[in-house]
Structure 1
Amino acid sequence: MAGLTLCRGGTKICPVESNELTTQAQALRAAGRTPKQIARELGITRAVATNLVRGVAAARPKRVRPSELPLVGCWISRQWSNGLTIAQRPADWIDDKKLPRMAMGAGLVSLVVARADGDAVTICGFLVDTYCLGVKNALPPTTTEAAAWPYFVDDYFQAYDSGPIEAPIELARHLTFGAVDYAHSLGFDPHRDFYSAAPYLGTWEPPSRITFGLNGKPYFQQGPHDNPDRIVRTLNRSVGPGNYEFTIVSL
């Protein structure tokens, strides 16, 4: 506020008192007061109160976007590309060389992205149904100590027979956002926690290089928390009977 002359009820305020007013305005604004209420409580004009609030806001450090945080790493479960077609596949979009039909991990892919966040690491995770439903589950941003994130990643993939593959962040975007777009076209929305985790993947620019569905055709594999009747009804409306495949567990 140096060099700025404020007025309290028509009286000039020196820089020292101006700094005190800034502190008071900051406290009142943090308490939820409007500029009009701040002006009344401090005995200043509303315009001055507004300038003080703006000055406080301008002095705060700029919040870094999640996608601007340094990337620690990105990992994806094996068999992620099983049954998918990839246009002009980049050389670093690797997967197991042998992809037997419906091997473990086919069509249901786990993905983790980790970014440095100060002295800690923030991790997000996604469970992606690449054949039908898109993002079925997501781990919202979770911050852990820098030394602990490798153990966190290991735990995330512990259900698989073998460890994950390190993947480029571009692959993570094309797989996750692309699967969400595909599921939307079939009538399905992503898990609610997808929206808080997605910014850590970076900005999405469709279309995806990946053609989703099992060999391009929707294929619903029932999971333990799925409602098969609802999903089949949705597929009947979106693509029509006979235009998708499914496996439903009889109880």
Structure 2
Amino acid sequence: MSKKQNPQILSPENYIRQRARKLPIFKCYINEGWDEGGLAQVTIARQHVNGNITYCSYLVDLHCLGIKDTLFDFNIPEEHFNQVVDRMSEEYELVETDYALVHNIIYAGWEFAEEIGFKPHKDFLSTTQYMLDEDNETIPIIEIHCGDKDGIPLYVQGPFEDDAIANRIMSQLEKKLGAGNFHYILKVDSLPFDDWDEEEEDKEDDEDDEEELDVDDDDLPFGGIDWEDEEDDDDEDWEEDAGMIFYREYARNSYEENARLFLALSQYLDEVKWDQEEAEYDDEQDENLTRLIALSVLLYHEIIQEEELEKWLDRWTDESLRYSVTDDSLYEMLGLPDKSSLTPKDIAYIRRESDSGKLYKYLLKRWGDLPYLYTMKIQEMEDSLFRNEEIAAARLKFPDYGLIKLLDMMNRTPEGRIKEDELLYESVFGNRKEITPLEYVCLQAMRLDYFVSKKNFAGVESIYFMVDDQFADENQDEQIGTFLSIILATRISMLRIYLKSEREA
């Protein structure tokens, strides 16, 4: 499956909503003088296991309006994030701070504004609030002053809030608090942030009479900022946009409606080839697949127990911190004693040789009885009896060799003779700090096989999330990319079988 036909199951928005809190905090920034000026520019960054960064920024008016604006960027390289911070620092002085402070600032501004009838930015409610930890006793309480020096709401008209906007805000304050119970400063020519949208659109809405005021997005600071220097690929832009359009369209439906649509759309899958090299797609199939992805996100959310999904994701995330995936561990995969056993000539030949028979002969002649040769031999066997005997013999000869362990486990999966503890990294690869992409794919394939045999939707979902999160597209090994396509096909096929049986019941 080509890259275009392998869209992410989770959109960035959904990932932040469902997974961001599980990522460790990387860095937090705030503008200097926020406590004196009453306007806080906060950035919170979390780091993925692949080293990339997801960050959210918030503009918090502690005097009156609360969370005026917010933006985010998803799964970007650390170098890119550092460039973003540098650009922001050119406009206002940023200082690094701890998470507890920015958490308290955001929540204080949010609560203060809501008490006087101002809702936070819509993207905060839908997405970026989930970048924050739960507001519970684990977060130290820091007193954050809101309002003017006496704690009274103070509305300061910004340079891009025209008279119409200011009048709506003033009207809301009078309605909620009464004349004389708030302060205001009109026609302010500058604020601490100069990188605000220069083109202001006056978009009056019909919500003037509502109890709460929702300020238009285009009136806010982040509205016209483009953090991206690079031009994105047109196909990727189309796919991302289409996926989100379909997601929002289907999110309004009931579970039953989406299940019916999914079954209707998935009928064409019987004729689809999921193999990357053989697959041929037309525009209609592209759109169908994108629609199926959007529907599957919503349907899986209904079917899966969140606690079960989190249990497995926590396990995979914890163990991923203890190893890395690299071709540097090729010697360990082959079963050689050390890296010096491999010459550059050996490595070049092993990487380019696609004929398994020739590779087998080369390895046998070069090093003799390697455990990897047993793996190759077993994988070529079609007779299950001989295969079982060969696996048993190889396990006795090389009891600690990971790939043979995995073959044995996959052999036992249909019989239900796998324990959950056997799925863990340490039970397969012991204390190894590095594994090859092939070993990583074999490990995840064994887990996928196990979860499919148990009809465990949460387990299958956890494998996709983990593999997709651990590898950025630009750094993705071909074997891992192919495996992601297999997970995608498995995920959709399992859902289709489940929905068909549910309908027939």
The answer to whether the 8 Å contact 1:73/1:115 transfers is yes
Equivalences for 1:74-89 in 2 at 5 Å?
Answer: 74-82=28-36
Q: Provide the TM-score with structure 2 as the length reference.
A: 0.31
Task: Tell me the residue number matched to 2:170.
Answer: 232
Question: Unpaired runs of 5+ in structure 2?
Answer: 1-16, 190-505
- Indicate the RMSD between aligned Cα atoms, in angstroms: 2.3
Distance 1:250 1:116, change over 3 A: closer
Aligned to 2:96: 166
- Residue 65 (structure 1) shift: 2.8
The aligned runs of 1:117-196 (5 Å cut-off) are 117-119=48-50, 120-160=52-92, 163-195=93-125, 196=127
Contact 2:101 2:142 in 1 (8 A): no
Is the Cα contact below 8 Å between 2:157 and 2:188 reproduced in 1? no
Judge conservation of contact 1:172–1:201 (CA < 8 Å) in 2.
no
Give 1:250 shift. Answer: 8.7
Structure of larger gyration radius: 2
SS of the residue corresponding to residue 154 of structure 1 reads helix
- State the alpha-carbon separation in 2 of the partners of residues 154 and 202 from structure 1: 26
Aligned twin of 2:187: 249
d(CA) in 1 for partners of 2:102 and 2:108? 9
Q: Which stretch has the larger CA shift, 180-189 or 113-122?
A: 113-122
Pair 1:222-2:157 in alignment: yes
**Contact 2:54–2:72 (Cα < 8 Å) also in 1:** no
Q: Is the partner of 2:69 in helix, strand or coil?
A: strand
Q: 1:158 to 1:191 in 2, by over 3 A?
A: farther
Task: Check the 8 A contact 1:185/1:238 in 2, yes or no.
Answer: no
Q: Which amino acid aligns with 2:121?
A: H
Quick one: structure 1 residues 250 and 197, their matched pair in 2 at CA, closer, same or farther if it must change by over 3 Å? closer
Instruction: Please tell me whether the aligned partners of residues 42 and 102 of structure 2 are also in contact (alpha carbons under 8 angstroms).
Output: yes
Read off the aligned partner of 2:171 and give its amino acid letter.
R
Paired residue type of 1:220: Y
**Structure 1 residue 75: Cα displacement:** 0.5
Separation in 2, partners of 1:111, 1:169: 10
Count of residue correspondences: 164
Runs of 5+ unmatched residues, structure 1? 1-62, 83-105
Q: What is the CA–CA distance in structure 1 between the aligned matches of 2:97 and 2:188, rounded to whole Å? A: 36
Post-superposition offset of 1:108? 1.6
Once residues 73 and 153 of structure 1 are traced to their aligned partners in structure 2, the CA distance between those partners, rounded to angstroms, is: 11
CA contact (8 A) 2:65 2:113 kept: yes
Residues 22-33 of structure 1 aligned to structure 2 (within 5 Å): none
Query: Deviations for 1:5-63, whole angstroms, at most 9, x for unmatched residues?
Result: xxxxxxxxxxxxxxxxxxxxxxxxxxxxxxxxxxxxxxxxxxxxxxxxxxxxxxxxxx9
Equivalent of residue 112 in structure 1, options 43, 50, 58: 43
Q: Residue 60 of structure 2 contacts residue 68 of structure 2 at CA under 8 Å; is this kept in 1?
A: yes
Are residues 218 and 64 of structure 1, via their aligned partners in 2, closer, same or farther at CA, if it must alter by over 3 Å?
closer
Tell me, yes or no, if structure 1 residue 199 matches structure 2 residue 130. yes
Which amino acid letter does the alignment assign opposite residue 186 of structure 2? I
Q: Which amino acid aligns with 1:121?
A: I
Higher relative contact order (CA 8 A, sep 6+): 1
Aligned partners of 2:105 and 2:144 also within 8 Å? yes
Counterpart of 2:153, as a letter, is: P
| Equivalent-residue separation in structure 1 for 2:79 and 2:188 (angstroms) | 45
For 1:189, what is the secondary structure of its paired residue?
coil
Distance in 1 separating the partners of 2:169 and 2:100: 30
Supply the distance in 2 between the matched residues of 1:243 and 1:159 (Cα, whole angstroms): 34
Cα gap change, 1:194 to 1:158, in 2 (>3 Å): farther
Amino acid at match of 2:116: L
Aligned residue in 1 for 2:492: none
Amino acid at match of 2:54: T
CA contact (8 A) 1:219 1:244 kept: yes
Instruction: Report SS of the residue matched to 2:79.
Output: coil
Q: 1:69·1:116 contact (CA, 8 Å) conserved in 2?
A: yes
Kindly indicate whether the alpha-carbon contact (under 8 Å) linking 2:66 and 2:118 is maintained by their aligned counterparts in 1: yes
Decide whether aligned partners of structure 1 residues 141 and 194 sit closer, same or farther in structure 2, where only a CA change above 3 A counts: farther
- TM-score for the superposition, normalised by structure 1: 0.60
